[in-house]
Amino acid sequence: MENSRKEQRKDTTQRNRDEKQSGERSTVQYSASRRSFRDEQTSVPLDIEFCLSRFIGKCLVLNEAHSAKGRVHRAAVTIGTASKAKRTARETIGTASKAKRNAGGTIGTASKAKRTAGGTIGTASKAKRTARETIGTASKAKRTASKTIRYASKSMRNAGGTIRYASKTMSYAETTI
């Protein structure tokens, strides 16, 4: 009997030392002799269902915080993808503009050829038509790229909203814990 008390005191001393080192202290104490939980500060007996529900509640809050963290990560990935799409679309616009300028030069050359050489009128007209088609294609590419930029911007705004919501959830979780 004396040995079991010594063992119990030793365990309690060790637990208190561990709690002091880790910086956190449990407010619930289990009494083996009384087979009940008690709050150390008020010495009020606690129901085991109450202790379990409190523990489960903390677990749920932690789980929600973890989910929020995942949503933040997914939103960040969405922002990255949207940014990349925006850059690609800008490059497409640049290429389309260059094609338009080149086609403009081709039209000028074709007009000059038309004026100077009677024999090359047919060829020059064909070159002019081809150049106009190139301009049309370039304009279409420019429009598509602009749409991509608008979509990417919308995705970035949505992701920003997700991050704000997730941050709120995380701060609520920290407060609850």
Span 128-140, pLDDT tens digits: 788 888 877 888 8
* Highest mean pLDDT: which range of 49-53, 70-74, 121-125: 70-74
Q: Which domain holds residue 132?
A: 18-176
Confidence of residue 141 (pLDDT cuts 50, 70, 90): confident
Residue 103 lies in a domain: yes
Tens of pLDDT, residues 147-173: 888 888 887 777 777 777 777 777 767
Residue 7 lies in a domain: no
- If one counts the domains in the chain, the total is 1
The whole model's pTM is what?
0.39
Can you say whether the dihedral through the CA atoms of 59, 61, 67, 72 is positive or negative?
negative
Q: Is the pLDDT of residue 32 over 50?
A: no
Residue 34 lies in a domain: yes
Q: Where residue 101 sits, what CATH number does that domain have?
A: 1.10.287
Average pLDDT of every residue of the chain = 72
Residue 9 lies in a domain: no
